[in-house]
Chains A and B, each alone.
Chain A
Amino acid sequence: GNSVTQMEGPVTLSEEAFLTINCTYTATGYPSLFWYVQYPGEGLQLLLKATKADDKGSNKGFEATYRKETTSFHLEKGSVQVSDSAVYFCALRIGDAGGTSYGKLTFGQGTILTVHP
């Protein structure tokens, strides 16, 4: 079956530090990959996505590259801010056989990030 494994947290960093949150996946077929972020007390927001191998998704200084050979989609940011403190979820979606439907999202367990001033 499909699954997503994330780096265990929590992760605690000082402001302006470099961030990596590891994500690896197991999937039948060719998934699309996503990072979602959940700020305290809020719902999930789509952070970035990549739909095919070697694609790089980027947003708000975060980026992740779809690596088919290592089945990975690690999230990185060069300089974190206190406002980046949140829970980060890696997820995958397998399209339906018709290739045009949305398919269900399979989530990793989430990684709590805390950034101190």
Chain B
Amino acid sequence: SAVISQKPSRDICQRGTSLTIQCQVDSQVTMMFWYRQQPGQSLTLIATANQGSEATYESGFVIDKFPISRPNLTFSTLTVSNMSPEDSSIYLCSVGINTDTQYFGPGTRLTVL
């Protein structure tokens, strides 16, 4: 398995601002992912964070709204830009350790006022 930490654990932000969420893993991993969990809902994949290249976004998610960085094999950031109350969610990063299993970070609980 892997130890995954996220910062911040929670935040309350004003409409129109941006928040950058950090994800740190205690070992080098090839694949890192960012998910969103809206209140009372399941998880939806936002994008795959690729080291050394642009992230791969899922349908309905765009780079301008959710820019992602992946500078090395242990770290990634997700920015939620120009936030609105609809962006209030839990944002989770996950990593793929072997060919079948993903492990998740503790999540960042975001509230947008």
Chain A residues with CB under 8 Å of chain B are 32, 34, 36, 42-46, 49, 51, 89, 93, 95, 100-102, 104-105, 107-110
Contacts and interface: CB of A to CB of B under 8 A. Distances in A.
Contacts of A107: 42-44
A100 B58 CA distance: 20
Contacts of B100: 32, 49, 51, 93, 102
Given A107-B42, A109-B42, A95 B99 contact: yes
23 contacts: A32-B100, A36-B104, A42-B106, A42-B107, A43-B105, A43-B106, A44-B43, A44-B92, A45-B104, A46-B101, A49-B100, A93-B100, A95-B99, A100-B99, A101-B31, A101-B99, A102-B31, A102-B100, A104-B45, A104-B48, A105-B33, A105-B43, A108-B42
Question: How many B residues touch the partner, as a band?
Answer: 20 to 34
Which A-B residue pairs are the 7 nearest by beta carbons?
A102-B96, A43-B106, A44-B104, A107-B42, A43-B107, A107-B43, A109-B42
Given A100-B99, A102-B31, A89 B42 contact: yes
Interface of B: 30-31, 33, 41-45, 48, 58, 92, 94, 96, 99-107
Nearest to A42: B106
B92 A43 contact: yes
Contacts of A110: 41-42
Contacts, number: 52
Contacts of A43: 92, 104-107
Contacts of B96: 102
Given A43-B92, A89-B42, 16 more contacts: A34-B101, A43-B107, A44-B43, A49-B101, A51-B100, A89-B43, A93-B102, A95-B99, A101-B31, A102-B100, A102-B102, A105-B33, A105-B102, A107-B42, A109-B42, A110-B41
Contacts of B107: 42-43
A12 B70 CA distance: 42
B32 to A, nearest CB: 10
A105 B45 contact: yes
Contacts of B48: 104
